[in-house]
Structure 1
């Protein structure tokens, strides 16, 4: 048995959608953005086993949702082998090369990193965005927007839980605010969570720090 194969025995690798890995496995093949029907039986069959998600940030978010719903978020380390450009990898200093990312995900220790929830039952592990809109937004008690915005970006941040950047002018990037919660009331607009557009427009939206952190395998102690 190779070193990689030995590590695979101790961590459950979920290969999501069309992603392929050079290593021979064993892996569990699941759908892109796997849901309850696929993930919950695997969690029951492999209790207390760290997970490795080979996929996109959205695939990771889907797995995190199931861990959160089962009360296993704080106790189950999770690694990521990014399938494409990854905000999670950028934020927390994870390797993006498949072979190196798999090696780290199978062998490194976890670090706690914040996870954001929203009022539609989802989570945010990388970046959330809105395009051009008009409305009012608050970061905790601080007014972040009144009127039009060209874009809004939100991502997990270790300081308070979330970082928010509102761009109002064509060339004005806007300051970055840290907050525990971001609340928006606006004319109909569509949020994007970890690269996936929400299925409908909304007039109200909230992202807020979850009470428990994700135990992300291989994450840097310093945020990037």
Structure 2
């Protein structure tokens, strides 16, 4: 895992989402409140020269939107700090602990896998295929098949290669979960709702894939 040098406060900007309050540790930095997808696109595409770090204050979906925009704009050399909500799954996956605002400002950046799907949308915390009948594989490993009945599948990034892990959500929930790791997970089904970082897709799909992008992203921690 490669590590970049730390960046100075003068080259960092804050992206403050929704009605969230600006942490005290970030008050000296220039701050923007993105206004929807087009507003975020304009902010990322028009970053001032010398901006090396963005600090996202928000939820997993907000981080996913920023990752998606950086990926599409081919700006994955911009470092990303994350000040997450309490219920964030990305917080757990990337072990973001107390003092996240200060660490996002002063920490070092580490290259981690970037997980995206076949719509060109990046995943920050967790995706789910909900109540599906069909077949899902992680690389060459069968996760579940048609004879297994209806299932819900969860997909998460990992901190290191191969890049992701996937698991069938079973009941009772007290049973331990089995996670399969790989570079890609694929689903073929009669119809499934794809939920990315808590946001459901607009319509059911019959095929869906999540996989590791050729370039990782720079997580500040």
Q: TM-score, normalised by structure 1?
A: 0.84
* Equivalent residues of 1:49, 1:76 under 8 A apart: yes
Distance 1:173 1:187, change over 3 A: farther
1:57 match: 60
Shift in Å at residue 31 of structure 1?
3.1
- Structure 2 Cα separation of the partners of residues 195 and 149 of structure 1: 21
Q: Secondary structure of 2:101's match?
A: helix
The count of residues paired between Structure 1 and Structure 2 equals 207
> Where does the alignment leave 5 or more consecutive residues of structure 1 unmatched?
1-6, 219-224
Distance 1:120 1:185, change over 3 A: same
1:76 match: 78
> Where does the alignment leave 5 or more consecutive residues of structure 2 unmatched?
1-7
Q: Given the alignment of the two structures, is residue 105 of structure 1 paired with residue 104 of structure 2, yes or no?
A: yes
Q: TM-score, normalised by structure 2?
A: 0.85
- Structure 2 Cα separation of the partners of residues 176 and 137 of structure 1: 13
Distance 1:169 1:178, change over 3 A: same
* Equivalent residues of 2:132, 2:150 under 8 A apart: yes
2:205 match: 202
1:222 match: none
- Structure 2 Cα separation of the partners of residues 193 and 87 of structure 1: 12
2:94 match: 92
1:20 match: 21
* Equivalent residues of 2:11, 2:51 under 8 A apart: no
* Equivalent residues of 1:165, 1:177 under 8 A apart: yes
- Structure 1 Cα separation of the partners of residues 84 and 129 of structure 2: 23
Shift in Å at residue 54 of structure 1?
0.5
Q: Given the alignment of the two structures, is residue 29 of structure 1 paired with residue 28 of structure 2, yes or no?
A: no
